[in-house]
Structure 1
Amino acid sequence: MAELGPGLLTPADEATGRALLDVQDATLLIVATPTYRGTFSGALKVLLDQLPANALAGVVAFPVVTAEAQPQADTAEAFLARLLRELGADVVDFGLTATRSELTDPGAVADQYTAALIA
Structure 2
Amino acid sequence: MVTTVVAGNPKPGSRTLEAATRLAEALTGRSPDHVIDVIGLGSGLLGWGDEAVAAAVSTTAASDLVVVASPTFKATYTGVLKLFLDQFATGDGLRDVTAVPLMLGGGPAHALAPDLLLKPVLVELGATCPAPGLYLLDSSYTDDGRIAEYADRWRGAVTAQTTSV
| TM-score (normalised: structure 2) | 0.65
6 and 73 in structure 1: CA distance in 2 versus 1, 3 angstrom threshold: farther
1:56 aligns with 2:104: no
Cα distance per residue 1:38-61 (max 9 Å; x no partner)? 101111111111111211111100
- Which stretches in structure 2 are left out of the alignment for 5+ residues? 1-37, 157-165
Query: Whole-Å Cα distance in 2 between the matches of residues 77 and 38 of structure 1?
Result: 13
Q: Is the 8 A contact 1:77 1:97 kept in 2?
A: no
Match of 1:101 among 139, 144, 157: 139
SS of the residue aligned with 2:66? strand
- Which stretches in structure 1 are left out of the alignment for 5+ residues? none
65 and 37 in structure 1: CA distance in 2 versus 1, 3 angstrom threshold: same
Q: Calculate the aligned-residue CA RMSD, in Å.
A: 1.8
Displacement after TM superposition at 1:79 (Å): 0.8
Question: Match for residue 149 of structure 2?
Answer: 112
Displacement after TM superposition at 1:6 (Å): 1.3
Question: How many residues are treated as equivalent by the alignment?
Answer: 118
Question: Match for residue 5 of structure 1?
Answer: 42
* Structure with a larger share of its residues in strand: 1
Displacement after TM superposition at 1:104 (Å): 4.3
9 and 55 in structure 1: CA distance in 2 versus 1, 3 angstrom threshold: same
Percent identity over the alignment?
32
* Paired amino acid for 2:63: A
118 and 46 in structure 1: CA distance in 2 versus 1, 3 angstrom threshold: closer
Query: Whole-Å Cα distance in 2 between the matches of residues 43 and 21 of structure 1?
Result: 18
| TM-score (normalised: structure 1) | 0.88
* Paired amino acid for 1:61: A
Question: Match for residue 43 of structure 1?
Answer: 80
